[in-house]
Amino acid sequence: MSTEATPLHITREGPRRFIGRNARGAEVRIGGSDADGVFSPGELLHLALAACGMLSSDHLLASRLGADFEATTDITATKPENEDRYDSITAVIRADLSALDPERIASLSERTHRAVDRQCTVGHTLEHGAAYTVDVVDDQAVPVSGPRTGTV
């Protein structure tokens, strides 16, 4: 490869195996749902939505449950038969709410929904849809500086 990768990119490691990287040094292994040790693109989509919800509500939950509260978000998705798409993704944040009375739990749930509705870019994108493009270009023809417009 003769050109520098964009700050967020994926490199091929082998047949149907890739590594996604960002400018902050993080890596994620990506592959088909039949491969071990990788996330499928669908799983990454589900995780992105759940993580966005957790990040959007973390400050609020910490203010009510304590800075060191523990939480797990369970994710489920449904996929129409014979279609390559998901028609529903659900993320449920589980935390110990035993210190709260039912009214405070209801209030926390409502405020959490509002925080996620207000701040979760991934949720907004899924709700409204996003145009996408995947192109193949000659690596020799792509300029080294500047974004690769129109490529994923």
- Name the residue range of residue 68's domain: 40-129
Question: Is residue 145, in this structure, part of any structural domain at all?
Answer: no
The verdict on 83 and 99 lying in the same domain is yes
pLDDT score of 141 more than 80:
no
Average pLDDT over residues 17-22: 98
- Give the tens place of pLDDT for each residue, 67-91: 999 999 999 999 999 999 999 999 9
Cβ-Cβ contacts under 8 Å for 84 (sequence gap 6 or more):
none
The verdict on 66 and 18 lying in the same domain is no
Query: Directed axis angle between helix 41-65 and helix 102-119, to 10°?
Result: 130
Question: Is residue 136, in this structure, part of any structural domain at all?
Answer: no
Question: Is residue 120, in this structure, part of any structural domain at all?
Answer: yes
Question: Is residue 52, in this structure, part of any structural domain at all?
Answer: yes
Question: Is residue 28, in this structure, part of any structural domain at all?
Answer: yes
The verdict on 124 and 52 lying in the same domain is yes
pLDDT (0 to 100) of residue 24: 97
The verdict on 120 and 65 lying in the same domain is yes
pLDDT (0 to 100) of residue 58: 98
The verdict on 77 and 13 lying in the same domain is no
Domain count, the chain: 2
